[in-house]
Chain A
């Protein structure tokens, strides 16, 4: 079945450093979503990308959707302690249109 792979599993950075997480799908996706889960919290929707090659920005966060619509990335510029959490990508691609989640990248930020 469809799989969404996400790397790295963990990332430890010093505050102010950049961070990137990558997401790859085994099949072409109709769209991809990104979520953030704070420690002890629940996943919260960040953004959805739909178009091939699409790039969207939210303040220090930059989201990209690959040309082939099989990969995506989230880049955070100059991380802050408030960025701590697990970032999940999730792709829509199956016949049922369900979201398939990657396993997430857990980001820790050292002050």
Chain B
């Protein structure tokens, strides 16, 4: 089983619809992230959470919201989807202590390809 699981893998939705992307992890990591990837633009941070009670905006949070339901679950919502939110979305996890020791980097899920029509 994957360490970081994202659902759905693909989704087509209409403009104005609310949609939720889900992420769950079995790595026991404390930190979770949502990134957006557009061709040629790399990975842009949407939101991040250092623990269940901590939620922080990233570079491009407008139009998005998140919920950290448990240490292992971090969901991303688009309240009213628009076409320029069509992108590949990645959830990632990390563990603070292991990252600083250079043992592990971020672990990414397989991504959700979202198309807003």
Q: Please give the residue numbers on chain A whose beta carbons come within 8 Å of chain B beta carbons, in ascending order.
A: 1, 6, 9, 31, 33, 35, 41-48, 50, 88, 90, 92, 96, 98-104
Contact = CB atoms under 8 A, between A and B. Distances in A.
Nearest to B56: A96
Given A42-B90, A45-B106, A88-B42, 15 more contacts: A31-B102, A35-B105, A42-B108, A42-B109, A43-B92, A43-B108, A47-B105, A48-B99, A98-B48, A99-B106, A101-B42, A101-B43, A102-B42, A103-B40, A104-B42
For the residues of A in contact with B, the DSSP-based class is: strand
Nearest to B88: A42
Interface of B: 33, 35, 40-45, 48, 56, 58-59, 90, 92, 99, 102, 104-111
B111 to A, nearest CB: 5
A43 B102 contact: no
A65 to B, nearest CB: 12
A99 B45 CA distance: 9
Contacts of A99: 45, 106
Nearest to B38: A103
Closest 3 CB pairs of A and B: A45-B105, A103-B42, A101-B43
B90 A43 contact: yes
